[in-house]
Chains A and B, each alone.
Chain A
C-alpha cells in the first residue's frame, strides 16, 4: 500500500477513534475525571467522523488529550514506523535491582502487580561465577520463534524491528508462549481488571490497551511513545541509566541522560546478545557486568520477603538446602 493511502487510512481511523472516545466520554460520562470538569466553549469547531460515518462538528473544548489512544491505524500498527530500527542496550554493570523499571512499566501498561512484562532475574552463570541482576523484556527478535508459530498472524514482526501482538486477532492457543525460549509472554488467564479510564479505549496493537481475557501479551517497546519521540517508561524510570533505547539506523541510543553511538557502545563495552546460539537474533544487547556500580547484594537486602524468595536460591544457596 502506498504511503499516502496509509496516511489517509490512519487519519480516518484517528478521527474515528477520537470521535468514539470523545462521544463516549461526553455521552455516558465513563471517563469521569476528564469530562466532569466543564470547560468553557472555545468557539473553535472541529469536524469529526462519527461511528455512524457522519461528519459531526463539535466544539474543540470537548476534545481531551488521551494517553494510550490509538493514534495510528491497525495497518500502520502492523507496518511499523518507517525508517526506524529500534534497539535496546542493557548495561548490566549499572543494575542494582531497584525495580523502578518494573513499576513504571506496570503503571504505563496498567498491568496488575503480579504479571510483569519486564522482569529482573538474578543470574549466576556457573558455580564460581558472580551473580548479577539481569533485566529482561521482550527481545523483539529478528528471527522471532513466536511469530513463526502463530497460526493467525496475531503476533507479527514490523519493519522497525518490533514484535507486537494484536489481541483482537489472537485466538489464545499459547503456541507463541511455548515457542518463546525466553518465557517473555504472559497470558490473560482471567478477565483482566481494567480501570475505568482505559476500559473503553479503542484497542490498538501499538498501545496494547485494554487487555483481553484469553489472549497473549508482552513487552512492546512502547511504540506509541516512540512515535511521539518519547523513551519507554522503563528507560525513563531507571535511576541508574541501565537501559539505552534508540534507533539502529541512526546509530544512536539514549538512556535518558546521555545519547551515545550504539555501535561505539557495543564496541567499547563488549556488548552481546543473550543466548546468541539460539539463532533468534534479539534486538536487545547486553553489556557485561564488569566494573559494577553496585554490589549485587544491594538489590537483595531491602526487598520484601516475598520478592526475596525469588532470588533466595542464588543469594543464599545454603539456606535453600535446609
Chain B
C-alpha cells in the first residue's frame, strides 16, 4: 500500500473513531445524573480513549500525507479543512484533560465530524505546490493559524452547550429563534455533504464552455445537475439538463448550483426532521446539554478564547505578515482573506474587552463565542469560495 493510500485509510479510521467516541460520550452523559457524577464515568473513559486513538490515526494521516507529497498537507481546501478538524479534536482533548467534562466531547466531536465530511467534498488528490506556496512559512503560518482557530472553536462549542442548556426552548423567544438558526446552519452543512456525496456516487458530470469575467473563453465541469448556467454557456456533455437560467460573468454559476443543491437538501432534511419530531430541532439536543454545568461551560468558553487568541494572533496575523512580506513583498495587502483574519481578531478583541471590562459573561459571552465561530467558518468557506483573492487555492 502506498503512502498516499495509507494516509486516506488512516483518515477514514479516525473519522469512524470520532463517530464511535461520540456515542460513548453520549452514553457517559446519559448515564450520569449531573456534571459532577459523570466526570469519572466508565463510558466517558472509553470515549476519550477512542477519541485519542482516532486523533493519533488522524495525525498518522497528516504525517503520511506530508511524507508522500513532500509538503505540509495544508495547501488546499481539503487538506486545510481536514487539518482544522484534526486540531479541533486535539484542542478538545486538551480542554477535556483540563476540565474533564464529557458534555464537551458530545458536542465537539460531531462538529469535527461534520468539518471532516465537509473537507472530503473537495478534490482530495495530492497537488504539487505552486511557487507562491513554496515556503516553510506555509507550514508555520497555516498550522498555527488553524490551531488558534480550532481552540477558539472549542469556545463556541462550550458556548453552544451553555445556550442549549440555559435557553428556554418551550417558549417563543429571540434566543430560541437564533439557537435554532445555528442548528439549522449545521444541518445545511450536512445537506451539502449528503447532496455532494449522492451525485459523486452516481458519478454525475456535465461539461460546459463559457465566457469568464475577463471576457475570455473557459471550460467548467459540474458535478451537480446544472441549475444555473455560466455566462454564455454551451454544453459539451450531450444530454445534460438545460440550466434554468444563465448567470452574468461575475457569478460562478457552478458554485451557485452547488449552493442551491446543498441548501435545498438541507432545508428538506430540516423539514423532514421537523415533521418527525414536531418541535424545534434544538430541543432534540437540549437533553444532552442539560447535565453540563453552566459555570464550567462559561469558564471553558472563556479559557479557550484566552488560550486560542494569542495562538491565533501569532499564526493568522504575525506569521501571516512575515510570510506575506516574503512572498508578495508587502506584509499586508487588504486581501479578503487577510481582512477576514483581521475581522476575526478584532471580534475576539472586542469579546475580551466586553468580558473583562464590561462584565459580559454567561449567556452574552456564549453568544459571542458562537458568533466568533461563525466568522471563522465564514472566512474558511465563504471567503475562499465566493470572494476570490490571493488565497483562493481551492
A in complex with B: no
Binding site for A on B (CB under 8 A): none
Binding site for B on A (CB under 8 A): none
